[in-house]
Structure 1
Amino acid sequence: MPDADLAAAYRACRLINAEHGRTYYLATRLLPPRRRPAVHALYGFARLADEVVDDPGPDPAAALAALEDDLATALRGDGGHPVLVALADTVRRYGIDPGLFGTFLKSMRMDLTVTDYPDLDALAEYTHGSASVIGLMMLPVLGTVGPRADAEPAAAALGEAFQLTNFLRDVGEDLDRGRLYLPADHLAAFGVDRERLLATRAVGGDRSVRRAIAHLVAHTRAVYRAAVPGIGLLDPVARPCVATAARLYAGILDEIERADHDVLTRRAVVPVRRRLAVAGPGLARVLAARVRRPVPAPGA
């Protein structure tokens, strides 16, 4: 493939990331420039799959199957959608396990038939494929200071923490799509179920719902606490990016708390000024890391 075509494919991924994942995109700016395109490609692929399940056409199952076939074609080096072309190059360049993408798509297929989860164990099956494997895909791009396997549990946990944060932020939107990702047994402990959430979405002001959300926020913070120490296992030049992403996503939980855990009549968003305040120190740290140890560019 001509270099110009590959560059255009990566550029398409970057634009998708910048438009649809602003928090994630801001954190990628702290990576060394030559590692950013791979992260954009991974994001672009996840976005392609999300669009199939969140804005389904007449046959979303067939669309997901077609995406999986197209991915296999791209991984063979036979071209295809620009995002898949960039992704295939990233997989080859960094030695990412192609099987992780099958695991991811398995969870995407769950979205077509599963509308709620009875408990955290059932939800974990979904989040492993939808989020934890994203952390595992990222590890070869970020680099580690020791064996990659040592960093994998924390990387998987951080992906889960990001996903759980999204679930809390997007409860209302997910209900509109007929889905509920909050575990039913945890909600039931506070007398909350899908019907009560829907009623609260309409009128607001349900203290039991807010207590249930507060409980799940605390659970999500515990997942962050388990994951964040693993950042120290990453290549020093990648740590500011991941640490900043963790702080920005955890900031969504802060905004949920500031709103008294009302996630049904409003959407928690980290203000731009706070995002920049978090990213600024990260930029200083990454520049210092580059001065201490320049990072060799990956192969062309």
Structure 2
Amino acid sequence: MKYIFDNVSDKCSKLTTIAYSTSFSFGIKALDKRLHAPIYGIYGFVRFADEIVDTFHDYDKYRLFHKFKEDTIDAIESKISLIPILNSFQKVVHDYNIEWELINTFLDSMEMDLDELQTYDADKYNKYILGSAEVVGLMCLKVFVDGDEKKYNILKPSAMSLGSAFQKVNFLRDANSDYSNLGRTYFPNVNMLNFSEDDKQKIEHDIELDFEEALEGIKNLPLSSRGGVYLAYIYYYNLFLKIKSLPSSRILQERIRIPNSNKIKLMLQSILRNQLNLI
């Protein structure tokens, strides 16, 4: 009867994804249906870890985070957890042979956010991007290739570039709240009090290169996942273009968004392009 509990766990991961991210929710819906539950499972896990370090300021975040990490290890080792999000995630880990190294690298980057006074040089920045985004892309790639290690290794650099692009766009989108509310500046050698057009353009050039490499990989994904990943790419690339069109001063004044009405239009366009092989 465990399948009932597993079903409840999967629904919790799905509910978490829908509640926290319209973009990823739309992207997952564009995947083959058999991929929905495992990708919801990965998103639910990474979202909860991120919430601990970014949101729960009135609680003991250190204790909560390390308890979450211990519970994750126990869930994977025991192949079950009474925490639905972790029960869903551990099933994905075992079904798709996701290595602990990827999970631990992700958790290490989340732990970095517990130090709210931390400054980022180039090495720390790259380490954070690797753990918070690139390895999450690799976890999803494990699901998409479903055991095809040769294809996994071929697409690995592109999957990492896509995760990197998404995270760097997030940094620009959230620069106002990260700096004003959390005191964080992820970009190395950038003073957010004097965030210049030159600073912004250098970051944007770096993101553009990530998007270019990511798109080449998307073109070679299995058909079961290509449309959904392309849709997420289109959402983020259009958000990037909107950020790129704005002066650096606006970045620290508001959180830049793509309206849901525009997302629906982009969804229809991307589905059509994918179906016509025009990616």
Fold shared, TM-score > 0.5 on shorter chain: yes
In the other structure, the counterpart of 1:233 is 220
Bigger helix share? 2
8 Å Cα contact 2:175-2:252 kept in structure 1: yes
The structure with the largest alpha-carbon Rg is 1
- Which amino acid in 1 is paired with 2:44? G
- Which amino acid in 2 is paired with 1:180? T
Partner Cα distance (1:260, 1:45) in 2? 35
Say yes or no: does 1:115 pair with 2:118: yes
Q: What's the % identity of the aligned pairs?
A: 27
In the other structure, the counterpart of 2:233 is 246
Partner Cα distance (2:30, 2:230) in 1? 10
**Aligned CA distance change for structure 1 residues 93 and 284 (closer, same or farther; 3 Å):** farther
Matched pairs, number? 270
What's the secondary structure of 2:223's corresponding residue?
A: coil
Partner Cα distance (2:75, 2:270) in 1? 35
Partner Cα distance (2:27, 2:59) in 1? 36
Say yes or no: does 1:273 pair with 2:261: yes
- Which amino acid in 2 is paired with 1:163? Q
What per-residue deviation string (whole Å, max 9, x for no partner) do you get for residues 239-287 of structure 1?
1111111111111111213333421112111122321122113434667
> 2:252 aligned to 260, 264, 268, which one?
264
- Which amino acid in 2 is paired with 1:266? E
In the other structure, the counterpart of 1:5 is 5
In the other structure, the counterpart of 2:126 is 124
Partner Cα distance (1:86, 1:172) in 2? 33
> 2:166 aligned to 162, 172, 190, which one?
162
In the other structure, the counterpart of 1:138 is 140
- Report deviation, 1:288: 7.7
What per-residue deviation string (whole Å, max 9, x for no partner) do you get for residues 82-104 of structure 1?
10000011112222223211110
- Which amino acid in 2 is paired with 1:225? E
Residue pairs, 1:18-33, within 5 angstroms: 18-33=18-33
**Aligned CA distance change for structure 1 residues 286 and 259 (closer, same or farther; 3 Å):** closer
What per-residue deviation string (whole Å, max 9, x for no partner) do you get for residues 44-88 of structure 1?
111111111012354322222111111112112242211000001
Residue pairs, 1:215-234, within 5 angstroms: 215-234=202-221
8 Å Cα contact 1:70-1:80 kept in structure 2: no
Partner Cα distance (2:274, 2:213) in 1? 23
Ranges in structure 1 where 5+ consecutive residues have no aligned partner? 188-192, 198-208, 290-300
- Which amino acid in 1 is paired with 2:40? H
Which stretch of structure 1 is more off in the superposition, 83-92 or 106-115?
A: 106-115
In the other structure, the counterpart of 1:292 is none
**Aligned CA distance change for structure 1 residues 78 and 89 (closer, same or farther; 3 Å):** closer
- Report deviation, 1:6: 0.9
- Which amino acid in 1 is paired with 2:256? A
The TM-score, its normalising length taken from structure 2, stands at: 0.89
8 Å Cα contact 2:145-2:151 kept in structure 1: no
In the other structure, the counterpart of 2:72 is 71
Ranges in structure 2 where 5+ consecutive residues have no aligned partner? none
The TM-score, its normalising length taken from structure 1, stands at: 0.84
**Aligned CA distance change for structure 1 residues 78 and 272 (closer, same or farther; 3 Å):** closer
In the other structure, the counterpart of 1:151 is 155
